[in-house]
Amino acid sequence: MTPNDAHHAFWDSAQLSALIDGLVERGWYVGTRFLAPALCRDLLEELQLLHRQAALQEAAIGRGDERMLRRDIRGDAIHWLDRESLAQRRYLALMSELQQQINLALYAGLFEFEAHFAHYPPGAFYRKHYDSFRGRANRVISTVLYLNPDWPADGGGEMALYDEHEPEREVARVHPEAGTFACFLSDRIPHEVLPTRMPRVSIAGWFRRNASLGGVIDPAR
């Protein structure tokens, strides 16, 4: 089995062309059953253990000196992926392969990938925002992998994506079912997490460019 064959045991490579086409044509992509159920289950179990161990931190908004907790804007708790588990390493290896494929297809210049687990308790949400601002940040493509098995239709917690040119017009509503994968241009697609009625879990990530100055790499977070 080649390394690529091993990767494809965990993700649906047939969706790759649709993902790239979606980014080019409209700035976003959503695919169901993108990742194998076994890997989703392993990642879910790890996140649940972190939650039981109180190892998740309340998520802030802003970066650097402007970081602050605003529960009226963002209500999740997070834990950055650190490669400490096999499930994390497998997921990050898949994202590394995806990064290479996007760079080959789009000459995107993606440099690295950062990601964190996210846990939204009942009632939590994240108001409409951009993940970066044009010309100011190096997050290029945002990703979300959902880990919630058998998510009910009335569970809430969907991610709403809005049009790049008409930011008040909703163009997609993503059901947070396990294995669903969404990605979009970080500085062009406004989005929000709608209030959830039950615990909602995912992995949020960002492909980044190297915005280094003087040979010093811009910190990931």
Per-residue pLDDT tens over the stretch 116-157? 999 999 999 999 999 986 655 689 999 999 999 999 999 999
**What's this model's pTM, rounded to 2 decimal places?**
0.90
Domain boundaries 3-208, corresponding CATH code: 2.60.120.620
Which residues make Cβ contacts (< 8 Å) with residue 4, sequence separation at least 6? 97
Q: Is 67 exposed, middle or buried (0-12, 13-18, 19+ CB in 10 A)?
A: exposed
Residue 211 pLDDT: 58
Per-residue pLDDT tens over the stretch 55-99? 999 998 877 777 788 888 999 999 999 999 999 999 999 999 999
With cut-offs at 50, 70 and 90, classify the pLDDT of residue 214: very low
With cut-offs at 50, 70 and 90, classify the pLDDT of residue 215: very low
